[in-house]
């Protein structure tokens, strides 16, 4: 008998909403846009640092909101706040409205991060399909990155006509996505459906306690966040001043960003297949080594051909992210899933709050290539010890 799927409609709704939220037309030009309004790289770094600290502060509380009152409600709130940010960012640079928009630009993500992955996993689990978690997580990431790629090409073209439309149209897409999210059917969050929901603070305490007591969960949270953080700063932020510095035209930059996203889409979509041939710790070790080498070469040999290495820097997190997340989901209970996953996002965002200002100030002072070299050093010094610790924790687990 075919298996009855009560929540299958959630998958395409969540994927469609994510595609719209990820249609960020500003992605290839946001640094150029801000510089055009008189904001220096150092000022952008300070703004990013403060914005990511606000986001990190909100991350775990918003995850607990998703666990207590529902994943779709949390994602919808995030979508509305993000749409508002897109319109406010068009105000005069460094004005109160602009600063509010800049703060919401990042912090709105806190309502969705953790909640979206938890919603996807619990939807699959409710229909008895949790064995597809790695596959569907990879597809989810691929759709997100694919939308980024499409937005990169379209956004670069729109920017040549009116750069402010890149933000306005992204805000409209977010409003449509919010409407779709509200049609999702919330799946069960508890293995025992007769169990009572914990209060907000008790749920938060339970989630933090799980992460603190279990070494394998703790180190996976740290490793997942680390694998995403510094590579993101390189291909998302430093790529723009690096490309302009080596003489790449702005119009071509959109194509480069689209190429980066296409590469990551393929990696995310096919990530689950890699575990058929290699153990996850082995895949992680190879990926971390490749990222370090690529970043070092970008820093040592600045040129237009070297920009191709940015594809590698972006590919590895796209490959490892879904696999590490699927492993983490296997180790944590549904009732605290969104909160625990938000802990990883918190670590990621604190890392960005430190790395963004540090590397942008470095790029202002010594150039983007040298800043990427600094990123490679920090990444190696952080990821390698965490990888070793994780392998040990997995062996002890069984």
pLDDT of residue 5: 63
Q: What is the CA radius of gyration of the chain?
A: 20
Q: How would residue 199 be classed by pLDDT, with cut points 50, 70 and 90?
A: low
Cα distances (angstroms) measured from residue 151 to each of 1, 17, 170, 215, 393: 42, 15, 9, 39, 40
Q: How would residue 334 be classed by pLDDT, with cut points 50, 70 and 90?
A: low
pLDDT of residue 189: 62
pLDDT of residue 204: 58
Decide if pLDDT at 396 tops 70. Answer: yes
Decide if pLDDT at 349 tops 60. Answer: yes
pLDDT of residue 351: 85
DSSP letter for each residue of 167-205: HHHHHHHHHHHHHHHTTPPPPP--SSTTSPPPPHHHHHH
Instruction: Summarize pLDDT for 88-119 with one digit per residue, the tens.
Output: 999 998 999 999 999 999 888 878 877 887 88
pLDDT of residue 201: 56
Is-contact 245 118, C-beta < 8 A? no
Is-contact 295 243, C-beta < 8 A? no
Angle between helices 250-274 and 133-159 (to 10 degrees): 180
Q: How far apart are CA 324 and CA 346, in angstroms?
A: 16
pLDDT of residue 144: 81
Most confident of 111-125, 166-180, 311-325: 166-180
- Quick one: which of 216, 320, 316, 222 has its CA closest to 272? 320
∠ CA(113), CA(155), CA(270), 5° rounding? 50
pLDDT of residue 171: 94
This prediction has a pTM of: 0.66
Percent of the chain with pLDDT over 90: 25
Q: Please, what's the largest Cα pairwise distance for the chain?
A: 66
């Amino acid at each position: 008998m075919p298996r009855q799927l009560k929540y299958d409609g959630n998958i395409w709704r969540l994927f469609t909403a994510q595609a719209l939220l990820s249609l960020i037309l500003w992605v290839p030009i946001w640094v150029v846009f801000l510089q055009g309004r008189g904001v220096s790289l150092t000022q952008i770094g300070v703004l990013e640092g403060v914005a990511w600290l606000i986001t990190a502060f909100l991350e775990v509380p918003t995850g607990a909101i998703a666990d207590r009152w529902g994943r779709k409600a949390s994602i919808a709130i995030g979508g509305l706040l993000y749409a508002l940010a897109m319109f406010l960012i068009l105000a005069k640079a460094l004005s109160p409205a602009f600063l509010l928009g800049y703060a919401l630009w990042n912090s709105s993500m806190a309502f969705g991060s953790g909640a979206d992955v938890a919603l996807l996993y619990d939807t699959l689990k409710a229909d008895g399909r949790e064995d597809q978690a790695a596959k569907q997580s990879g597809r989810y990431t691929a759709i997100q990155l694919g939308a980024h790629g499409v937005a990169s090409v379209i956004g670069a073209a729109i920017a040549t006509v009116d750069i402010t439309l890149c933000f306005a149209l992204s805000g409209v897409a977010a409003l449509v996505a919010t409407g779709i999210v509200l049609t999702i059917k919330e799946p069960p969050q508890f293995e025992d459906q007769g169990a009572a929901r914990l209060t907000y603070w008790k749920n938060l305490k339970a989630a933090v306690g799980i992460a603190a007591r279990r070494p394998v969960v703790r180190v996976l949270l740290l490793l997942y966040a680390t694998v995403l953080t510094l590579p993101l700063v390189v291909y998302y932020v430093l790529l723009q001043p690096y490309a302009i510095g080596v003489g790449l035209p702005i119009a071509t930059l959109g194509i480069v960003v689209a190429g980066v996203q296409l590469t990551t889409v393929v990696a995310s979509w096919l990530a689950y297949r890699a575990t058929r041939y290699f153990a996850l710790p082995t895949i992680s070790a190879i990926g971390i080594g490749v990222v370090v080498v690529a970043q070092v070469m970008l820093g040592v040999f600045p040129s237009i051909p070297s920009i191709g290495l940015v594809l590698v820097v972006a590919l590895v997190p796209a490959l490892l992210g879904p696999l590490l997340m699927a492993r983490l989901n296997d180790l944590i209970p549904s009732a605290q899933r969104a909160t625990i996953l938000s802990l990883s996002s918190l670590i990621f965002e604190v890392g960005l709050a430190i790395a963004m200002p540090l590397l942008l100030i470095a790029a202002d002072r010594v150039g983007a290539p040298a800043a990427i070299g600094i990123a490679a050093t920090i990444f190696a010094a952080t990821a390698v010890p965490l990888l070793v610790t994780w392998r040990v924790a997995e062996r002890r687990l069984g």
